Amino acid sequence: MQRSLFAAVSGLRNHQVKMDVIGNNIANVNTSAFKGGRVRFQDILSQNIRGASAPQLGMGGINPAQVGLGMSIGAIDTIHTQGSLQNTGRSTDLAIQGNGFFVMSNGTSQFYTRDGAFSVGADGELVNAASGFKPLGWAADAAGNIDTTSPLRALNIPIGNRVNTRATENLVLGGNLNALAAIPGPPPAPPSHTTEVLAYDSQGGMHTIAIAFSKTASNAWSWTATSGALPMTGSSGTLTFAATGNLTASTGGPIAFSPPGVAPLSIAPDFSGLTQVVGRSSALVRSQDGFRVGELESFMIGNTGVINGVYSNGLVVALGQVALAGFPNPEGLQKAAANMFQLSANSGLPRIGGAGLEGRGTIETASLEMSNVDLSVEFTEMITTSRAFQANSRMISASDDLLQEVVNLKR
């Protein structure tokens, strides 16, 4: 009789643990990036009543006879399936589409999470405002280059506190030079056509560069660049056009000059967009890649985790990149509260790198990952668990009745 009692007690105790897991799942049905758990049972030691025997002397074999002694918890698994993504409209909310975890720090230790509810703190760094933990990544240098082999650090976004500029390095020209233009006489005769562009030096200073075009022969032109009285090198050259009016060759450049107090400028002109056909001359500089001084106004985060700063002058420069960590066995991670996980002996070491690489997922901006708890599954599990608990309690009552009958034999 005692075997059935102890087997039923093990059923009561372990189904209560399963109910605890179900209760925790349901409690966290709206917790960002929560990963639900499940309980797996296994039977425990069985008592042999009779051993097995092999067939012999024309007799068949006999199977073993065993009585089980109950059940125990085999495992409590954390299910790392993808949760649904919810759009929040906040540029600092990040969700991972696929595998991976954000690498978080409390200043002394590293943790891992799928909860990307971040904001910009008073120190200008990204932070989870609910816990104070900061996501880690790599900072970009002044030119916007990111070295993902460098040590991880907190990500700083200094809105309004950082200025940037870029010296002009390239000019792209386009438009037409009139094929019927007259060949101008010797200086000081005016050129056939002139256009101007504003170029920027390393401190954001503006310099007007005038480019003059003079027809020298049929399908041949010369060009000359000037910027006030500043001496220049590479500031003149030739243009040769085919009979169809397309440019076939150009010489000269890069245009180099040294404004006082700043780094020397070296600007490469691109004349490939010019044509020479009959019509008015409209050659002009279509674009230049320099920018005046501007303040950091906003930022945006791409699906690779790169944080791009947008400046008031239109310049977009990378500020840093959010790091992701992948694990050989994410189910081996240990929960550490506040939606965090820690390494365990069976999780494996993290593979840290950029999003979208080495099996790591991509980052969705202005979104959060929802809990992966399915209420329909949890309620079904709740019903089966409560019925199993009830059945085990009835087994204890039935075993007690049998023991009572044995005691009554004495009367």
Residue 248: Cβ-neighbour burial (10 angstroms; 0-12, 13-18, 19+): exposed
| Average pLDDT for 316-334 | 95
Cβ–Cβ contacts within 10 Å for residue 222, how many? 18
Residue 178 has pLDDT above 90, yes or no: yes
Residue of higher predicted confidence among 200 and 186: 200
For residue 56, the number of C-alpha atoms closer than 13 Å in the C-beta half-sphere is 4
pLDDT in tens, 13-52: 999 999 999 999 999 999 999 999 999 999 887 778 888 8
- Say how far apart CA 315 and CA 23 lie, in whole Å: 51
3-state SS assignment for residue 389: helix
pLDDT in tens, 219-262: 999 999 999 889 999 999 999 999 999 999 999 989 999 999 99
Q: What is the pLDDT of residue 408?
A: 84
| Average pLDDT for 123-143 | 93
3-state SS assignment for residue 349: coil
Q: What is the pLDDT of residue 58?
A: 83
- Say how far apart CA 210 and CA 192 lie, in whole Å: 13
**Domains of the chain with CATH codes:** 2-47+65-80+372-408 (no CATH), 89-163+295-369 (no CATH), 168-289 (2.60.98.20)
Residue 402 has pLDDT above 80, yes or no: yes
**Average per-residue pLDDT for the chain:** 92
H-helix or E-strand spanning residue 406: helix 375-408
H-helix or E-strand spanning residue 375: helix 375-408
- Say how far apart CA 214 and CA 127 lie, in whole Å: 60
Residue of higher predicted confidence among 163 and 342: 342
Residue of higher predicted confidence among 342 and 158: 342
Q: What is the pLDDT of residue 31?
A: 95
- Say how far apart CA 248 and CA 13 lie, in whole Å: 87
- Say how far apart CA 363 and CA 79 lie, in whole Å: 21
pLDDT above 70: percentage of residues in the chain: 100
Cβ–Cβ contacts within 10 Å for residue 15, how many? 24
Residue of higher predicted confidence among 274 and 314: 274
Q: What is the pLDDT of residue 144?
A: 87
pLDDT band at residue 78, thresholds of 50, 70 and 90? very high
Tokens of 254: 């890069």
Residue 1 has pLDDT above 60, yes or no: no
pLDDT band at residue 411, thresholds of 50, 70 and 90? low
Q: What is the pLDDT of residue 404?
A: 83
- Say how far apart CA 18 and CA 38 lie, in whole Å: 8
For 154: left if phi > 0, alpha if psi spans -120 to 50, otherwise beta; the answer is beta
For 288: left if phi > 0, alpha if psi spans -120 to 50, otherwise beta; the answer is beta
